[in-house]
Amino acid sequence: MVKEILDEIGKARVVSIVRGIAHEDLKHVADALYEGGIRAIEVTLDTPAALKMIEELKSEYSTKMIIGAGTVLDAETARSAILSGADFVLSPTLSTGVIEMCHRYSKVAVPGALTPTEILTAWEAGAQIVKVFPARVFGPAYIKDIKGPLAQIELMPVGGVSLDNAAEFIKCGAFALGVGSELVSRTKVAAKDFDSIRDTAAAFIKTAQ
């Protein structure tokens, strides 16, 4: 199970972070992302009705995309997300409890870390991917610097990933990219501009591949 999820994230290259959208817009957004080539979606748990959204996405797109839960801060919330259908669980910080819960259910843990010590600690605690957050602080070159001595660790930069730097992040060794408002912005969703989301998704996939 874990290997399959990891393979899917690695192939997808881009994980779309969906945050703060209305439940009624979920299917439109998911369809637009899928049409644009996105194959991995993360719903952040600070989004209203997030667990219900994850459940619906898993039911609707289980054969098309992998579904993740983001902004998971503790093991209890991780378990709720997993039981709702999350294949992978992301955190902005390092919680060994979340990692342990993911291992218990054979899901992928993606804790957040920034410094080399935090990144290695997350890996040693069992994280299959480490989310480098906020990536905008140091940019793509930081991924290359970390991969130098820690080549065995799969890194996913999040925060500040854009069409302008996505290819450079991949070139510098990123396993995948977490992309938020640069892809699914609340402004576009509020305007029902789903075609723009589709086109931006396609541009990110082309750049990352």
The amino acid present at 198, given as its one-letter code, is: R
- Give the type of residue at 6: L
Q: Does residue 76 carry a catalytic annotation?
A: no
Where do we find the tokens 């989004």? 47
Q: What is the pLDDT of residue 200?
A: 98
Kindly calculate the radius of gyration of the chain based on its CA atoms and give it in whole angstroms.
16
pLDDT of residue 1: 87
Residue pair 207/167 in contact by the 8 Å Cβ criterion: yes
Amino acid 48: pLDDT: 95
The confidence score (pLDDT) of residue 154 equals 98
Considering the candidates 55, 131, 182, 188, report the single residue annotated as catalytic.
Answer: 131
Report all structural domains of the chain as residue ranges with CATH numbers, in order of start: 2-208 (3.20.20.70)
Contact 126, 95 (CB under 8 A): no
Q: Which of 42, 55, 154, 182 is catalytic?
A: 42
Instruction: Kindly state the tokens that stand for 37.
Output: 């080539």
- Name residues whose C-beta falls within 8 Å of residue 29's C-beta, 6 or more positions apart in sequence: 18, 21, 184, 189, 194, 197
Told to judge if 4 belongs to the known catalytic residues of this protein, a careful annotator would answer: no
Instruction: Please work out, in degrees rounded to the nearest 5, the angle formed at the alpha carbon of residue 128 by the alpha carbons of 168 and 38.
Output: 50
pLDDT, block means (10 residues), the chain with 209 residues: 95 97 97 98 97 98 96 98 98 98 98 98 98 96 98 98 98 98 96 98 96
